[in-house]
């Protein structure tokens, strides 16, 4: 499932998003290695109309 979630963003696109998110993200809330998966899940839900 992790690969499916990561495929929503290319590595190049994620590198841009990650930089912007890290600037404003509260530290200690989520390990950075889980951030891509969490953001991908949010986008997937939005794209597919899931709640």
Four-point Cα dihedral 22, 43, 38, 16, nearest 10: -30
Whole-angstrom distance, CA of residue 45 vs CA of residue 22: 22
Cα(51)–Cα(42) distance, integer angstroms: 10
For the question of whether the overall pTM of this predicted structure is more than 0.75, the answer is no
Give how many domains the chain has, as a whole number.
Answer: 1
pLDDT of residue 16: 93
**Which comes out higher in pLDDT, residue 38 or 7?**
38
pLDDT of 1 strictly over 70: no
Q: What pLDDT does residue 44 have?
A: 86
Q: pLDDT, tens digit, for every residue of 13-47?
A: 989 988 898 888 887 777 777 888 888 888 888 88
Six-digit token string for 37: 């998966």
50 touches 44 (CB < 8 A): yes
Domain assignment of residue 36, given as a range: 2-48
């Amino acid at each position: 499932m992790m690969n499916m979630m990561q495929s929503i963003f290319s590595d190049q696109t994620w590198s841009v998003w990650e930089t912007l998110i890290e600037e404003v993200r509260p530290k200690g809330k989520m390990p950075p290695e889980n951030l891509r998966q969490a953001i991908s899940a949010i986008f997937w839900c939005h794209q597919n109309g899931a709640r």
